[in-house]
Structure 1
């Protein structure tokens, strides 16, 4: 994860030093030269860390050094953001500012070029110390000779009968998959070697099912073995373990530890060519890994079977369709039954106490997640693809690898909502906290403080004000899930570097003017709040990309919002609860002067039309999603002409001013990209 932090900061430096604004003053150009040199060092450190990552383990000194690198990357990111802020302010002043700056009072900025120069000097000093402690410019010696964690001892965690080996009576919700697996093992009139693949997200029960079947069916084969592969496997370890298990009953004397890869390969082939065998390859990550391991698994036409468990659909594709099993999450009834059985073994019939029956997993919405990723800077431009398309590709890959589970798809089979498996979530929380990527805050049981290096904070429960700490000045993301949060905890003056501020669902009615000091803010989420008015200072958020007030009380942007040139998404509408009308069930935002000049807009949902906006709508050439309300018949000709020139539109909603209004849209020519059209009138 430290590599990701380095990639993010080096990318930011590239953007900063490449900006045309750098040509204003000599001092700015000097700072950009220093940042370029620092970027070069950080890129070398990142390459060095990649090499370290090839080692199976790292020592305590290296771990400490990596932690120091992470903190330096965070410090440098802060400085780059300061630099972009100051240069951006100068740019906004225009050329007249340079000529009059000596005769007027100096503007009060959050940072100065002098402070930035001092910060860069400290970064260079820290880089010197890091190099003295571990020279990243030299190749790493003997990476391949570093001993991995003992495979045999680790293997014990994955042997059948450990943890996930359960009896038939305890196996819940796997009846169908178990039947398919048993049938694949015992195919009649099929002497050929068969590969059976079970695919599904981590922790969903693939190994549990296979372990249950393995225990009951292994005796029907002349020899068998269970080996765990995982991501960091070594081929000779896999083959050595396999050989030991296959020969366990033969009591054949050999020293597998001293055998070379070639010796192991020859011995296994010799043994397996005369036997009907069953091999379990648990947790295979790549198809190429399987192909390498399979080199010793000869097909002697004796009805041998290989069972593979994997999170990857690519790996599962090595099996024929009839022998490919997709392990899905349990149905609600089975899941509840299993949960109660495990959580309440001593209660009558394993019934869950009523007080605990309100628990529910958190739903992740695709669009929101993608906007958060973009705001964080996690998504890089790839060719002509939009950032949103690149992010959706990453999301699809996470689903394909079973890291996330799709809960709902839209009518185009596109992901709408997802969930993260509890096991994956716990691992993500552990890893994120360990590497200061993020932390969760819950003071329902004790007083907590934000850790000093944490960059992201998710507030689950907050009974009291969040205790101030030096860590809050580093925060980049603040996500609030606790509806009982005190408003004083939401807008800390220390957290000026925030890029994401998500307060949706909180019972807040006002936003303080100090929000305008969050110069780095890219995402402001206020959905389902009682906020009625946005402060004028919002127009100072020149980096803002997403402004979301879905089903909030606010339907108007402050005057001057046309200055928010980087806005990609405006979502501002309110559902009318218990409306007796079937038409006009929601109110949309008011148009503001200069809205048509926001050339980066991708989403505008929803806007109340007027003559001026419809005529200038064609300027918003990057729009993908548009919902426009209040259309009258006199608008139709101009509207059709403007919409026909928006070639990126994928989703379009046109709503008449009232249900009796006749909309004549015969001349409307729609984009080939259009996926959904909604007409109301």
Structure 2
């Protein structure tokens, strides 16, 4: 994974030395500086390009190391040094981009120069140039160092790559398929289905898929069938083949031939056959026999299709079973021959734990004093933490993991990656919304443990949990997730290296982390503090120049310091269920905002129209033209008239709408090409939403209209043009709870009633 850090900084340097960026930086190079540093500063772009070229070569070298399996402590140490240097260079590039961006911002505010005392700059071009020069020198030394202490790769010395299955033994359970029958739990139904698939009266070749997330026991289930003599004896020959991601087709066919021939190889020299000879010999054997072939852990549909070319349908009832995590691979199996494995239920999970943990006790009973401990272990092994799709995608974008592809938005590209992970069974879908889009997910415990292990090893991220005492977090960790914090974090984390800080322990007092987060972690890109008992944000938040994601949901924050307007890179600001509804003057400077989510809950019973309060629109809100989500914002005459400027909006929730706003609101909405979700809420029960002229250029997925509607609303141009394409429609208005009253009449006990309801239209 070291090449990821290198690739990341290569990409950033490419942006930094691009023509448009350097054009903005030229005036900075010409500014006065110490004579001895003039040359260094002017050489900065050249130095950065040289570093980029050197890192590109290093990246190619790292790839070659991975492909050829070269190992060794010296090489591993060298790779760690490369990674550290790449991280250092990433910091330098971010500093450079900040200085350039700040200079551009100053030009747009040239009239505001009359200040008594000029604040000290966060970074100077001199410092940046000095750091870049040192990194350039260190890169050259890194290359020499490797030559001094390692043998040239061209010498032919080769160390086989560490087998994943052997590494698995160190930190992952369940790698051994040789499990006794009495240890198998919760597979009876799937085993019976698989046996019936093998015994089908249909004599044509059938491909059967057993698929699901890693660790669910796919291979264990199939192995249980494969070692059953009564079942396997129905076939003339059989073979078990492990298909890895790096397997070559020649090796697969060669191993298949050896397995099928067994001891009776009839003079077949598989070792010396080419692809054509292997295929001919396999076809010859498979044409004459009823065969059973297991293809274990297939990753690519293309590999399976290639293997299928030699699988002769001889009309003898032959069967092929594949195990896979990938939905696309499983789809190649015939209908009715796909077995999807799901996690064990609580009862079966407990039985399995007891059988493994207490093999010698009577009936594998758990001792009473260990019952709670055992339950905690079983619960830890579940897919329990729910990951929200939108949140995950916004975090990916904030981290810079997503690259633009054509005209697709970053969010669409990220959702494509997420869908691919689901198709590969790397993560599990917990729920989908009414549009069948992923709503929330969870991660299998085995994959989570592997991710944590690898991330810590690569200094990518680490988990902080001091439940059982002090935790030492690597000083090079770029990302920290706090699961449990009972003491000061500062003593175990180097804040100057942090890029991401995620707090999952809502009982953690911010005092234990606030100082180093807001004062020393100046490179932070992601700050997630949802649910923490926070009331104020330090003024030093403005020093987090690199911050792209700030989430303070479910906190008691009431206001932002003026310095918040310095966060020029901020993309996502989430303040849901907080006390903050007003922003300081100058907030419209944050031009990179993509998601602005602000609302305050005032009535948890949801019995009134305005049971939550929304954002008071600030001057210039309509100039944040990269906004894709705006939820929720109050309607004002000025804002509604300029709302059409936000042409990139995909989701809009506008509240406190008056009848007098509606004509201009309809006009502004007609300019939005990308809008898919729209929520309009009237100011009160007396205001009528006059939406007779509502028209949007494209269909909506979801439309919510809360308030009294004009008679012509459902005959508006929008409904006549796009009404049939709506996926979800909610119409609500204020009516009496008394059955005798007509809709709209007053009552001493009013309530909201759904007229259209939520559902499929």
Q: What is the TM-score with the length of structure 2 in the denominator?
A: 0.81
Q: Give the SS at the match of 2:343.
A: coil
Report the Cα distance in structure 2 between the residues aligned to 1:325 and 1:237, rounded to whole angstroms: 28
Alignment of 1:356-395 (within 5 A): 356=375, 361-395=384-418
Q: Report whether the alignment pairs 1:353 with 2:371.
A: yes
SS in 2 for 1:11: helix
Matches within 5 A, 1:158-557: 163-166=176-179, 170-190=183-203, 192-216=204-228, 217-248=231-262, 250=264, 268-294=282-308, 296-331=310-345, 334-335=348-349, 338=352, 348=365, 353=371, 356=375, 361-468=384-491, 471-491=494-514, 492=516, 493-557=519-583
CA shift digits 1:155-194 (9 cap, x unpaired): 999xxx973344556544444433332222112141x322
Aligned length in residues: 675
Secondary structure of the residue that 1:533 maps to in structure 2? Answer: coil
- Structure 2: runs of 5+ lacking an equivalent: 31-40, 708-761
Which residue does 1:650 correspond to in 2?
A: 676
Question: In the superposition, relative to structure 1, how do residues 162 and 89 fare at CA in structure 2: closer, same or farther (>3 Å)?
Answer: closer
Distance 1:57 1:231, change over 3 A: farther
2:715 maps to none
* Distance in 1 separating the partners of 2:207 and 2:398: 44
- Which residue, out of 648, 651, 667, partners 1:625? 651
Q: Offset at 1:108?
A: 0.9
Query: In structure 2, do the counterparts of structure 1 residues 340 and 676 end up closer, same or farther at CA, with 3 Å as the change threshold?
Result: farther
Say which of 4, 21, 26 aligns to 2:24: 21
**Equivalent residue, structure 1, for 2:728:** none
SS at match of 2:128: helix
**Kept after mapping to 1: 8 A contact 2:50/2:136:** no
What is aligned with 2:135?
123
Distance 1:150 1:470 in 2: 33
* Match 2:122 to one of 83, 104, 110: 110
| 1:492-525, Cα deviation, whole Å (9 max, x unpaired) | 1221100000011112222211111111100011
Distance across 2 between alignment mates of 1:121 and 1:162: 48
Aligned equivalents of 1:390, 1:15: Cα separation in 2: 20
Q: Hey, what's the Cα distance between the residues in 1 that align with 2:585 and 2:77?
A: 50
Deviation at 1:340, TM superposition (A): 6.0
Does the Cα contact within 8 Å between 1:449 and 1:467 map onto a contact in 2? no
Q: How much does 1:444 deviate?
A: 1.8
Show CA shifts across 1:389-418 (max 9, x none): 111011111111111100000000000000
* Distance verdict in 2 for CA 1:334–1:634, change over 3 Å: farther
Given that 1:340 and 1:350 are in contact with CA atoms closer than 8 Å, whether structure 2 keeps it comes out as no
Whole-Å Cα distance in 1 between the matches of residues 154 and 394 of structure 2? 42
Q: Would the aligned equivalents of 1:643 and 1:670 in 2 still touch at CA under 8 Å?
A: yes
Shift of 1:620: 0.9
Q: What is the alpha-carbon distance in structure 1 between the residues aligned to residue 83 and residue 140 of structure 2?
A: 15
Report the 3-state secondary structure (helix = DSSP H, G, I; strand = E; otherwise coil) of the residue aligned with 2:661: helix
Alpha-carbon spacing, 1:144–1:638, altered in 2? closer, same or farther (3 Å): farther
Cα distance between partner residues in 2 of 1:598 and 1:625: 14
Specify whether residues 326 and 551 from structure 1 end up closer, same or farther in structure 2 by C-alpha distance, changes over 3 A only. Answer: same
Q: 1:169 to 1:658 in 2, by over 3 A?
A: farther
Q: Which residue of structure 2 lines up, in the alignment, with residue 60 of structure 1?
A: 73
- Mapped to 1, the partners of 2:421 and 2:399 lie a distance apart of 18
Extract unaligned runs of 5+ from structure 1: none
CA contact (8 A) 2:596 2:631 kept: yes
User: In structure 1, what is the Cα distance between the partners aligned to 2:450 and 2:613?
Assistant: 42
The structure showing larger relative contact order (alpha-carbon pairs under 8 Å, at least 6 residues apart) is: 1
Change in Cα spacing, 1:153 to 1:334, as seen in structure 2 (3 Å) is closer
Contact 2:402 2:410 in 1 (8 A): yes
Shift of 1:112: 0.9
Structure 1 residue 145: Cα displacement: 7.8
Does structure 1 conserve the Cα–Cα contact (< 8 Å) formed by 2:549 and 2:573? Answer: yes
SS of 1:629's partner is strand
Report the Cα distance in structure 2 between the residues aligned to 1:578 and 1:332, rounded to whole angstroms.
33
Whole-Å separation in 2 of the counterparts to 1:15 and 1:679: 44
Distance in 2 (alpha carbons) for counterparts of 1:382 and 1:196: 37
- 8 Å CA contact retained: 1:56, 1:232: no
* Distance in 1 of aligned mates of 2:317 and 2:158: 40
- The answer (yes or no) to whether the contact 1:198–1:309 under 8 Å persists in 2 is yes
Aligned with 1:288: secondary structure?
helix
Correspondence for 2:717: none
What is the alpha-carbon distance in structure 1 between the residues aligned to residue 397 and residue 159 of structure 2? 38
User: How far 1:245 moved relative to its partner?
Assistant: 3.8
- Comparing 623-632 and 242-251, the one that deviates more: 242-251
Counterpart CA distance in 1 for 2:354 and 2:163 is 37
Find the residue that maps to 2:696 and give its secondary structure. coil
Paired position in structure 1 for 2:88: 75
For the 8 Å contact 1:155–1:227, the answer to whether it is kept is no
1:221-274 alpha-carbon deviations (Å, 9 max, x no partner): 222222211223244544454445434464878886677666655654454443
Partner SS for 2:317: coil
